Amino acid sequence: MSDISAVLSTLDQNLDASLERLFALLSIRSISTDPAFADECRKAGNWLVEDLKSIGFDASLRETPGHPMVVAHHDGEGPHVLFYGHYDVQPVDPLDLWEDDPFEPALKEVEPGRKIITGRGSSDDKGQLMTFVEACRAYKAVHGKLPCKISILFEGEEESGSPSLKPFLQAHAEELKADFALVCDTAMWDRETPAICVGLRGLVGEEITVKAADRDLHSGFFGGAAANPIRILSKILADIHDEDGRVTIPGFYDGVEETPDDVLESWKALGQGASEMLGPIGLSELSGEKGRTALELVWARPTAEFNGIEGGYTGEGFKTVIPAEAYAKVSFRLVHSQDPDQIRASFRKFVEERIPSDCSVEFHPHGGSPAIQLSYTSPLVTTAQTALSEEWNTQAVTIAMGGSIPIVGDFQRLLGMDSLLVGFGLSDDRIHSPNEKYELSSFHKGQRSWARILDALAKNGV
Amino acid sequence: MSDISAVLSTLDQNLDASLERLFALLSIRSISTDPAFADECRKAGNWLVEDLKSIGFDASLRETPGHPMVVAHHDGEGPHVLFYGHYDVQPVDPLDLWEDDPFEPALKEVEPGRKIITGRGSSDDKGQLMTFVEACRAYKAVHGKLPCKISILFEGEEESGSPSLKPFLQAHAEELKADFALVCDTAMWDRETPAICVGLRGLVGEEITVKAADRDLHSGFFGGAAANPIRILSKILADIHDEDGRVTIPGFYDGVEETPDDVLESWKALGQGASEMLGPIGLSELSGEKGRTALELVWARPTAEFNGIEGGYTGEGFKTVIPAEAYAKVSFRLVHSQDPDQIRASFRKFVEERIPSDCSVEFHPHGGSPAIQLSYTSPLVTTAQTALSEEWNTQAVTIAMGGSIPIVGDFQRLLGMDSLLVGFGLSDDRIHSPNEKYELSSFHKGQRSWARILDALAKNGV
């Protein structure tokens, strides 16, 4: 089998050249939400096609109703991987808040020994996707081949809701299906610690409207006799959590697994406790299930959240009214194998059981998606974890995210592929904001990380 | 002592003349809220002054910053009573909904043996106050004196918030203070059954705002870890009532008395059960304290009502936000001797005990007034009840009202006077609406009722 060290030293020697290529890509104004930049999006796509061809990929631009996709394939032994990234970027306004032109990327030394790459898309996602491309380029240069069979999908609509993505995946399932996907659109834990995201919470949204009398009532004439929908709604919401912060809806925890102790230990070691997480927003007490750490609560536990509520008189002053109805917007964050449909059904039953016989309730669904949960100990994860740990000289952590990344769910549902989420962004990269940047160390060691990961995946026959 | 039958027959003989006088008063456009009718208000006041003088009252028009008051006095043996009424009326728009000119009163036979008096103010309150004036006129005509020492106060701003009333009462407390007040601005139970209102619920209004994080949060990143003010608020509101519909705030029921059994029996006999009260508004179940009748709940029991609530995202669609704050408008209807200040303090303590240590709550008070509760068995009430029962040939009922009549509280607080609330209006009189009317039977038997009540109060030395 091949030796990775030659590939790594090649990456080191070619860092300046790789920066020139990245800057060329960053200088293209591929803002996907603004039709005025449609040509720039296409230009970015074409630039990537040509660059991938130069490495030996069979690359082409694929039309969609929106911005085109970049699809590329390269033969190889070992597993077949599909790498995903997006070449489109967020708008740059307010422009006057930028210290440098967002489309004139530059390398800046912000402190001795620390350099950053400035410009829109440097971190989200052009800089990240190029770490993978550069890894392929170096490996190919050294060995004349790639360690795995590699397919690449670069999207041009990620920052505008990915309207063309699902149809494209469905139409090209056969072509794009691989053993697993590699997604480089996430962040490291901190500047020194690489991370693999193995869990993404799912979401179920419901709007409930409780209806009582057929009109608003005067509380003087009916107070104490007629049903008050705000009271009914408050009771329902209050019943959803018990004293220990657990959700009381029957069957809610079906499919929820306990996080492995060693994972919990590794999260504790990250030092992100209640005060670290809540202090910056003016809070100090964990409000969720008792006996769980802050990170476990947002990464690995399901929740019921109340996102909005309204009923009765909400203007200035006071009105002694008993309203005809009141409503609330409720959402559930799901983990592991919780079933969105079953959660929604159980919630509706839970609510209906608490509606007085002479009142009624209306439900309005607001989307539902299951959680994404990879095994913390799958060969895919442990192989990548080892490779990352070797590159960064520190234990790579397996983390989760409280939110969701739609593409990962699409890969799982439409192509039956698990995803390995490895990224080198940092929480202070200011993606979507003025003065976006990407650490040079992220770009450089990111390239080396991918080279190690691809090599290890091949060696381990994952 | 005098014989009342001669007075009653005099009232019968003079009914047409009394109608002419009422029509004269009804034809005056004394709309107090509209400055354009200020002269008409004064004209109505002067008309009453002259009419009272013709009976022998020492009557005069008293200036206020708004419309003038009519104050009159007449010596007499027996108790000193202050009769209250108001000569101003509601606006008449929409005029096109009136079948007849609101200021051209008429007598109409609506069915064989049933006549009504049409016109704005016929029931509220010109027709009602004239029942008392006519009773005085007839008694004086027959006996050359009045059975009691009688003072009269006619207000001209009742339909526009009575801005001048309190200052006027305070400035003329000595002159206006009597043994008790007679207020003729309420309704009968039904066309055949006279009623005395002995209870008016008080009110405490409070707005609470629960504050958690110092900004709105993304429920993906903080859901399950950060406090949610909607959840905190819902729990607080839900805790206010127990399973039996009782209010759980410590000390809330201090000063609340049980309604006498015979009174409850008389209310049951009125046949206003849950279905009769709630059916018309689309409900059927009593929501208040279990084991109480519909009328007891709204007439004699205190309540906690939720009049408004708002928090988080309340627009179209869905937003997975954990809001920084949420608020609710809560009101309490008070009975008997419940103390508004103590209720407010207990409620605030109740809320504060349920606020997590890293969250906060702000209170905004919205007024507070104690309940008015007369004894069901005081000589004042029982004497009037007997007199009314004799006149109407049916047992007069003692009722209460879920709302409040400010003047009664003012008399009690400012002049230390209890009020006897007797009125002959009906729920279908359409006061404040087009086609207001007053039953001729209300006007005629109302006159006879006051003659009997005054005579009985004097005879019983109440």
Which A positions 265-304 lie with beta carbon below 8 A of chain B? 274, 277-278, 281-289, 294, 297-298, 301-303
**pLDDT number for residue A120:** 96
Assess contact for B321 and A326: CB atoms under 8 A.
no
Chain A residue with Cα closest to B318 = A366
CATH 3.40.630.10-classified regions of chain A: 3-200+373-460
Q: Do the chains contact at B317 and A366, CB–CB below 8 Å?
A: yes
Q: Tell me A113's DSSP state.
A: T
Cα distance from A185 to chain B (closest Cα, Å)? 17
Q: pLDDT tens, A391-415? A: 999 999 999 988 778 889 899 989 9
A364 in Cβ contact with A207 (< 8 Å) = yes
Which residue shows structure tokens 């959660």? A343
Q: Please check whether residue A358 touches B, CB under 8 A.
A: yes
Evaluate whether B431 touches B128 at the Cβ level (below 8 Å).
Answer: no
The per-residue pLDDT of chain A, averaged, comes to: 95
- For residue range B167-203, what is the model confidence (pLDDT) as tens digits? 999 999 999 999 999 999 999 999 999 999 999 999 9
Compute the nearest-CA separation of A328 from chain B (Å).
8
Using pLDDT thresholds of 50, 70 and 90, give the confidence band for residue B367: confident
Q: How large is the average pLDDT for residues B236-243? A: 98
**B-chain residues within 8 Å CB-CB of A221?**
298, 402-403
Tokens of A160: 């505008």
Answer whether B230 sits within 8 Å of A301, measured CB to CB: no
Q: Is B289 left (phi over 0), alpha (psi -120 to 50) or beta?
A: beta
Confidence of residue B398 (pLDDT cuts 50, 70, 90): very high
Q: What's residue A374's pLDDT?
A: 87
Among A256, A309, A401, the strongest candidate for a mutation testing the B interface, having the largest count of B CBs within 10 A, is A309
Give the residue-averaged pLDDT of A179-199: 94
Q: Tens digits of per-residue pLDDT, B127-137?
A: 999 999 999 99
Q: pLDDT over 90 for what percent of chain B? A: 89
Give tens-digit pLDDT for B307-356.
999 999 998 888 889 999 999 999 999 999 999 999 999 999 999 999 99
Which of B218, B231, B297, B401 best tests the A interface by mutation, with the highest count of A CBs <10 A?
B231
Indicate if the pLDDT at residue B240 is higher than 90: yes
Reported confidence tier of residue B404, pLDDT bands at 50, 70, 90: confident
Question: Measured between CA atoms, how close is A212 to chain B, in angstroms?
Answer: 7
B2 vs B462, residue with greater confidence: B462
- A210 Cα to chain B: minimum distance (Å): 13
Q: Which of B214, B227, B311 sits opposite A308 (nearest CB)?
A: B311
H helix or E strand, kind and range, residue B173: helix B173-176
Band of pLDDT at residue A2, cut at 50, 70 and 90: low
Residue A129 in this model has a pLDDT that exceeds 60 = yes
Task: Provide the pLDDT for residue A319.
Answer: 85
| Among candidates B205, B220, B222 on the partner chain, residue whose Cβ is nearest the Cβ of A318 | B205
Closest to A329 (Cα-Cα) out of A353, A352, A362, A281: A362
Q: pLDDT digit string (tens) for A289-345?
A: 999 999 999 999 999 999 999 999 998 888 889 999 999 999 999 999 999 999 999
State whether residue A308 sits within 8 Å of chain B by CB.
yes
The confidence score (pLDDT) of residue A94 equals: 87
* C-beta atoms of B306 and A228 within 8 A: yes
* For range B59-82, the mean pLDDT: 96
The CATH number, out of the four listed (3.30.70.360, 3.20.20.240, 2.60.120.380, 3.20.20.70), of the domain defined by the range A202-256+302-369:
3.30.70.360
Mean per-residue pLDDT, B49-57: 98
- Considering chain A, what percentage of its residues have pLDDT values greater than 70? 100
Distance from CA of A263 to the nearest CA of B (A): 19
Write the pLDDT tens digit of every residue in A19-31.
999 999 999 999 9
The answer for residues whose C-beta is within 8 angstroms of residue A151's C-beta and 6 or more apart is A71, A72, A73, A74, A80, A81, A82, A83, A175, A176, A178
The DSSP element (H or E) to which B362 belongs, if any, is strand B360-369
- pLDDT for residue A1: 42
ipTM higher than threshold 0.95? no
Domain B3-200+373-460 belongs to what architecture?
A: 3-Layer(aba) Sandwich (3.40)
Per-residue pLDDT, B403: 78
Question: In this complex, is the C-beta atom of A233 within 8 Å of any C-beta atom belonging to chain B?
Answer: yes
Which residues on chain B are in Cβ contact (under 8 Å) with A320? 203, 205, 305, 307, 331
Of A218, A306, A312, the CB nearest to B306: A312
- Kindly identify which residue of chain B lies nearest to residue A285, measuring between CA atoms: B358
Report CB contact under 8 Å: A225, B277.
yes
Cα separation, A436 vs A373, whole angstroms: 30
Candidate ranges A202-206, B94-98, B398-402, B441-445; pick with highest mean pLDDT: B441-445
Residues of B in contact with A224 (CB under 8 A): 287-289, 297-298, 301-303, 305, 333, 402
User: Is the predicted pLDDT of residue B13 greater than 90, yes or no?
Assistant: yes
Which residues of chain B does A278 touch, with a Cβ-Cβ cutoff of 8 Å?
213, 225-226, 358
CA distance A121 to chain B (A): 23
Most B-contacting residue of A216, A241, A306, A408 (CB-CB within 10 A), to test interface: A306
With CA atoms as reference, the chain B residue closest to A292 would be: B225
Q: What percent of chain B has pLDDT over 70?
A: 100
d(CA B106, CA B23): 8
pLDDT at position B2: 53
What are the chain B neighbours of A285 within 8 Å (beta carbons)?
Answer: 227, 356-358
Confidence of residue B1 (pLDDT cuts 50, 70, 90): very low
Inform me whether the pLDDT recorded for B159 exceeds 80: yes
Q: Where are the beta strands (DSSP E) in A92-233?
A: 106-111, 114-118, 149-155, 180-183, 195-200, 202-211, 217-218
B408 touches chain A (CB under 8 A): no
Q: Which two tokens stand for residue B154?
A: 């006619």
What digits encode the pLDDT tens for the residues A56-107?
A: 999 999 999 999 999 999 999 989 999 999 999 999 988 999 999 999 999 9
Determine which of B186, B201, B222, B338 to mutate to test the interface with A (most A C-beta atoms within 10 Å).
B222
Say what the alpha-carbon torsion angle A17, A21, A23, A24 is, to the nearest 10 degrees: 140
Q: The pTM is what?
A: 0.85
Sort B296 into a burial class: Cβ within 10 Å, 0-12 / 13-18 / 19+: buried
Provide the β-strand partners of residue B308.
A312, B329
Cβ of A329 under 8 Å from any chain B Cβ? yes
How near does any CA of chain B get to the CA of A110, in Å?
29
